[in-house]
Chains A and B, each alone.
Chain A
Amino acid sequence: MIVKVFNNLKRFLFLMLVQIIVLNHVQWSGYVNPYIYILFIMLLPMETPKWAVLMMGFATGMTIDMFGNTAGLHAAASTLLAFARPGILNLIAPRDGYEAETTFTPQKLGLNWFLAYVIMLTVIHHFFYFYLEVFRFSEFFYTFFKALVNSAISIVIIVIGIYLFGNQSKANERFAG
């Protein structure tokens, strides 16, 4: 239990640092800004209560907001993501349900399942975020394109990242028994 909390805390700090120090400064062609910090909310353990996921979604978004001068925008989007998480999990549940205390990684549940999970949640988060940021429909198609491109890039980074750093948490789990 303590190991799990510690692992999640470590993941939170790591993702925050990557997001704030590297990805917030990516300025490629003016509209690419991937947001991968949402992986933290996606990877919270199965047994986390729903309300706690919601709280953590809010807190994660607020932290990103503080560093990016976007008061409330990320908090609103990642709270929506946390709200959508249980629904998506039900929607794409394997035929015989989830194992107790499973972790949502491709190593545990397969790449197809993981892709479906990440794509749905990232698209929900990004579209909500970009439309909220613009807050008008006059730039509808431009915003749509921007959200689509950024979702694609975020998903690619998240999938590559989980294969690069995923094994480490597996070793920790074995250690925990």
Chain B
Amino acid sequence: MRSLFLFLWRYNFFILFLVMETICFFFIARNSNFHHASYINSTNTAAAKVNSTVSAITEYINLSKANEALSRENAAMHSLLPGSFYIDSALKQLVVDTVHKQQYTFVTAKVINNSVNRRNNYLTLNKGGMQGIKPEMGVVCAEGIVGIVKDTSSHFCSVLSLLHKDTRISAKVKKNGYIGSLVWDGNDFRHAYLKDIALHVKLAKGDTIVTSTFSSIFPEGIMIGTVEEFEAKEGDNFYFIVVKLSTDFSNLSSVYIVENVMKGEQQVLEEKQTDDR
């Protein structure tokens, strides 16, 4: 016993070091698990305050760009209004729509912290549990998809960016509907990779990639990007596709958080299938 204490005392510096590194690795492991809320993140109040001050300043600098993006989006919305269509039917009829119920609702949010240059990037938004934001909601912006909500505090939420090693988004080629999964390799925030598209699929440079119906997080058909390059590697059954992302992650200020109102229903149904297996 005495020699044990002597040993501990002799190497106290090294043992203290080991204890601290263990604590660090505990936090890292905890944070990398999607379903566990982490305590050390920028949704805590002090960090969120500093971050929102910084973003208030940078947002002011980027106002003109934001304005331009918003007016472009407004124009797109206006073109969808009933008033901007030519009505060619003589007979009009009021239909009480019970089939096409609303499935997705959108909440606007401001980005108060963002990064693009780490291997695993996160965003912090200024909406949280008080506004009904829950983990695993999707985040999109006018140009395309952004990420998935990870943790929430009462007024803020942190978002797993598309630029993260654990992000996998079900995507499809818009023109023919073939489905693959989108991943990011950590090099460049303007490009991601689409996997699992088989070799018989006809592709062309510039094809649009959108979200698929398989994900219960994003609505179908949200823009992801366009095919920049694709090649068939020898001995592989799938294409290697480089996708140019439509979202400019280095310049995000206002985004939408998407809630799938029917997600619970879909999940309950799908859980039944796994019970049967």
Closest chain A CB from B38 CB (angstroms): 5
Q: Which of B82-118 contact A (CB under 8 A)?
A: 113, 115-118
**Known pairs A67-B47, A76-B21; A32 contacts B40 (CB<8 A):** no
Give the chain A neighbours of B58 by CB distance below 8 A.
Answer: 25
When the two chains form their complex, are residues A66 and B31 in contact, meaning their CB atoms are under 8 A apart? no
Number of residues of chain B lying within 8 A (CB) of chain A: 44
When the two chains form their complex, are residues A80 and B21 in contact, meaning their CB atoms are under 8 A apart? yes
> Which of B23, B30, B116, B122 is A69 in contact with, Cβ under 8 Å?
B122
When the two chains form their complex, are residues B42 and A58 in contact, meaning their CB atoms are under 8 A apart? no
When the two chains form their complex, are residues A134 and B186 in contact, meaning their CB atoms are under 8 A apart? yes
When the two chains form their complex, are residues B28 and A142 in contact, meaning their CB atoms are under 8 A apart? no
- Check: A155 CB closer than 8 A to any chain B CB: no
- Check: B74 CB closer than 8 A to any chain A CB: no
- Check: A83 CB closer than 8 A to any chain B CB: yes
Give the chain B neighbours of A58 by CB distance below 8 A.
Answer: 20, 23-24
> Could you say which of B10-18, B133-141, B192-200, B234-242 contacts chain A?
B10-18
When the two chains form their complex, are residues A33 and B117 in contact, meaning their CB atoms are under 8 A apart? yes
Contact with A along B16-60 (1 / 0, CB 8 A): 110011011111101100000011111010110011001000100
When the two chains form their complex, are residues A66 and B28 in contact, meaning their CB atoms are under 8 A apart? no
**Known pairs A32-B117, A76-B25, A79-B17; A71 contacts B47 (CB<8 A):** no
Give the chain A neighbours of B185 by CB distance below 8 A.
Answer: 139
When the two chains form their complex, are residues B28 and A54 in contact, meaning their CB atoms are under 8 A apart? no
Determine the main DSSP class of A at the interface with B. Answer: helix
When the two chains form their complex, are residues A71 and B40 in contact, meaning their CB atoms are under 8 A apart? yes
When the two chains form their complex, are residues B42 and A79 in contact, meaning their CB atoms are under 8 A apart? no
**Known pairs A30-B117, A71-B31; A66 contacts B21 (CB<8 A):** no
When the two chains form their complex, are residues B119 and A66 in contact, meaning their CB atoms are under 8 A apart? no
User: When A and B form their complex, what is the total count of cross-chain residue pairs whose Cβ atoms lie within 8 Å?
Assistant: 108
Q: In the complex, what distance in Å separates the CA atom of A27 from the CA atom of B113?
A: 13
Contact with B along A73-106 (1 / 0, CB 8 A): 1011001100100100000000000000000000
Closest chain A residue, CB of each to CB of B48 = A67
> Which of A25, A33, A80 is B118 in contact with, Cβ under 8 Å?
A33
When the two chains form their complex, are residues A72 and B186 in contact, meaning their CB atoms are under 8 A apart? no
When the two chains form their complex, are residues A30 and B17 in contact, meaning their CB atoms are under 8 A apart? no
Number of residues of chain A lying within 8 A (CB) of chain B: 36
Give the chain B neighbours of A68 by CB distance below 8 A.
Answer: 42, 115
When the two chains form their complex, are residues A69 and B28 in contact, meaning their CB atoms are under 8 A apart? no
**Known pairs A76-B21, A133-B120; A69 contacts B42 (CB<8 A):** yes
Listed A/B pairs (10) with beta-carbon separation below 8 Å = A31-B117, A33-B117, A54-B17, A67-B42, A69-B42, A69-B158, A71-B31, A75-B24, A79-B21, A132-B28
Residues on A lying within 8 angstroms of B by beta carbon are 20-21, 24-27, 30-33, 50-51, 54, 58, 61-62, 65-73, 75-76, 79-80, 83, 86, 132-134, 139, 142
When A and B form their complex, which 3 residue pairs have the shortest distance between CB atoms, in order from nearest? A72-B27, A76-B24, A71-B31
Residues on B lying within 8 angstroms of A by beta carbon are 12-14, 16-17, 20-21, 23-28, 30-31, 38-42, 44, 46-47, 50-51, 54, 58, 113, 115-120, 122, 124, 158, 165, 185-189, 250
